[in-house]
A and B are shown apart, each in its own frame.
Chain A
Amino acid sequence: MAEHAEVHRHPAPQGFIRKYIFSLDHKVIGIQYIMLALAAVLVGMIMSVLMRMNLSWPGTKWSILGTLFPTGAPGGVMSDAFYLSLVTMHGTLMVFFVLTTAPQGGFGNYFLPIQIGAEDMAFPVLNMLSFWVTFVGFIVLLLAIVAEGNVTVGAWFAKLGESAFGGGSGTVGPIGGWTGYAPLSALGKVAGPGQGAGVSLWIISIAIFCVGSLLGALNFITTLLNMRTRGMSLMRMPLTCWAWFTTAVLALLSFPVLLGGGILLLLDRVAGTSFFIPSGEFVSGALIPNHAGGSPLLWQHLFWFFGHPEVYIAILPGMGATSHILSTFARKPIFGYRAMVFAIFAIGMLGFFVWGHHMFISGMSPYSAVAFSILTLSIGVPSAIKTFNWLGTLWGARIRFTTPMLFAIGFVSLFVAGGITGLVLGQTSLDFFFHDTYFVTAHFHLVMGVASIFGMFAATYFWFPKMFGRMMNESLGKLHFWVTFLGVYAIFVPFHAMGMLGMPRRYSNFAEYEFLKNSHSLVLFVTVAAIITVSVQILFYFNFFWSMFKGKKASENPWDATTLEWTTASPPPHDNFAGVIPSVYRGPYEFAVPGAPRDFIMQHETEGVEVAAELGDKSGNGGNGHKH
């Protein structure tokens, strides 16, 4: 080990394909993931606006829809099946291809190696594969839309679906919801429109996605454990790295379970097995003869064993980015670094033991429901620690209100607003009323949807200069923040009110029920707010792509930040540190150190070591919780 290692720089690849398409560079792969998420989130947002339009103005003719989807929206009027396929595809796209890709595959891929002082991921080839496998999953998911229903574009696919999977039922995509509860999702075309080839493609897409995520997770964990630079002890890592690490552990342990479930579900659909289909099924006027004895609850258990950790996979990187950005622009060390690390891990690990709270009323044992309920509410404790520490970080700070900081503050606000209703929903007795109402929709959209997205917005505005060497436009960014921040509250707070009325989720129309009569004004208000909020995202897209070419040139460290990514050029060279890997001498958030020449000391700086060592004895370990 003591011999000199060859220090030679890997030359950057030259050809366009190896440089930008099948690149092994974690930075390029990270950007690819971000682009994928940007595409997926656009489709997902358009779908949510379509859903809102259908709920507020049912029966209206939108002629463009009629042209695009002649079977799903005949004459431009959305059918109920069309609406449900939007629900399903919106959920699937957002959860898998946005909330799982951008935070982890995107920003994690780009910044985890740089922040720990590595030249690349541990297994660059696997890294490239993980992106392209995910991309194939995305394409297969889009095929589901075409294969199920679009006659003009999809006649060929529909035929293929028909012959290969017994599908092509003339709707637009599967309509089982992103949870795909069996046996609805297992029976095939007989169960109605939207249950044909689209569902099979949907399952295949998710199975492919699982594989891609697993490759990524394996890579993240190995990189973090194996490739940290000198002095980068675990307790000196930026909190972002802790978050990505925990997320990778969650993904590594939960995606295989979904993969297993998906295989079983697909076999039930195409190979005639009966894992989830029980005996005596009488569907669409006929007995199903070939299936017997399966257990629908088994699917729910497998799905939610993955599904709950998935929620944390979506939000933990956002928490990491928020902690990181809050500390940077508060110009103050993170409050309670150790407690933050503990809380991230506690949330992640508890996340494996609470999946049953999605299933209180599913018919599973009411005794286990009690256990799941109590465990669920205990997740509130580490979540509260995080909130407390974020506020503690801001206390006594000197806040610089840059766009990333605004979004990070927005994250804290939204995380509290969305997370805290978990105290309501986690109680079995209250689930009697609230299960599958808009109260649930409000809860998870705020906390795992919008809060995570705010974390990603913050991350984008924060790291954009590092990734592209140019700053994003601050004025546009601030405008984007204000409308989005007020907008998402305007959309999702009224959802609680709908939940109070008992409004069920996944209804394409509320007119059938008298008890939902009072919701009209709410529904309309939310739609207007949603259309405005979604429209404003154009600003973000514009800012993103415009700044890439025309933005103000960024320096190496435009935010006066402390971690290793800010020690290298913007954008970093192919091997991240131009052959000279920095060593680390202190914790990640050394801001406002008394006596230091500037109000921040970077992790790799040797100057001022004495000062810091004297003042904060263990501050080099990332803060030890002692009062100074």
Chain B
Amino acid sequence: MAATVTNTENVATAIGAGARPRGGNGFHKNGGGGNDDGQPLRFSPARYRIGVWMAVGSILMLFTALTSAYIVRSASGNDWRPITMPKVLLVSTLLIVISSVTMEVSRRSLKQQRDAAYGRWLVLTSVLGLGFLASQVIAWRQLVGQGVYLSSNPYNSFFYLFTAAHGLHLLGGILALALLLLRTRRRRATVEGELRRTGAADAASIYWHFMDGLWVALFFLLFFWK
């Protein structure tokens, strides 16, 4: 939860919630701040970022709950039998870490208005993401091959649960990337359209990095907190 609170603060600073003139613009920088003619801007680019930070906060709470359960459960009962992790998980981890880098390159390309590069790197990121998922499925299949099922041991239950929950969320991320590819690869005619386009890319990259970090954290948890 602490992490989420910090996030909210970051958001608050990011969108300029500092001092503001009395009787004037409440949220001049972004929050529907106004133009000179007094017409409020209809879209402010922080929107997607705030939204995705909130999503990150709630997903973090979900995994905090599951992790707490993991820690409590590992201490209750004497049936906790950790297994040796399939080696292929190292490949997964490598893939997702690289995908974070490509995502970042993609986002920066967009910032530098190199649209073609933006699209290419997005495709690469999606492919790496799919590769990660495939690698996770391979890990599952190896475990099933060894007779290690969801219910055979609480440690396994958590292993499957964590990987499945993370995988589902990452799948959501891949869908988001697909959406970016389909709908925002081209430059927009209006200012608002451009803001939406870059805002969406920013949000997707925040989510993607979070999924990367989350997996690394889960990986360490599963490897070292047995």
Contacts and interface: CB of A to CB of B under 8 A. Distances in A.
A118 B26 CA distance: 13
Interface residues of B, number: 64
Interface in A214-272: 214, 217-219, 221-222, 225-234, 236, 249, 252-257, 259-261, 263-264, 267, 271-272
A222 B51 contact: yes
B167 interface: no
A217 B157 contact: no
A272 B32 CA distance: 51
Contacts of A274: 77, 79, 151, 154, 157
A438 interface: no
Contacts of B157: 267, 273-275
A325 interface: no
A292 B57 CA distance: 33
Contact of A279 (B22, B44, B47, B77): B77
A214 B17 CA distance: 24
Interface residues of A, number: 68
Nearest to B60: A256
B94 to A, nearest CB: 28
B79 A222 contact: no
Interface stretch (A466-474, A496-504, A517-525, A581-589): A581-589
Contact of A228 (B32, B38, B59, B72): B32
A302 B68 CA distance: 9
Interface string B23-45: 11111111111111111111110
A625 interface: no
B218 to A, nearest CB: 14
Contacts of B12: 225
A539 B92 CA distance: 62
A1 B35 CA distance: 8
A218 B15 contact: no
A226 B58 contact: no
A585 B29 CA distance: 18
B225 interface: no
For B33, B47, B80, the residue with the greatest tally of chain A CB atoms inside 10 Å of its CB is B47
A403 interface: no
Contact of A231 (B15, B24, B55): B24
Contacts of B43: 5
Contacts of A261: 65, 69
10 contacts: A1-B41, A6-B42, A222-B47, A225-B11, A225-B17, A230-B38, A231-B23, A261-B69, A272-B150, A294-B77
A-B pairs with the 10 shortest C-beta distances? A293-B77, A272-B151, A260-B65, A256-B62, A256-B61, A293-B79, A257-B65, A233-B26, A295-B76, A218-B54
Interface of A: 1-7, 117-119, 122-123, 214, 217-219, 221-222, 225-234, 236, 249, 252-257, 259-261, 263-264, 267, 271-275, 278-279, 290, 292-295, 298, 301-302, 305, 352, 581, 583-586, 609, 613, 620-621
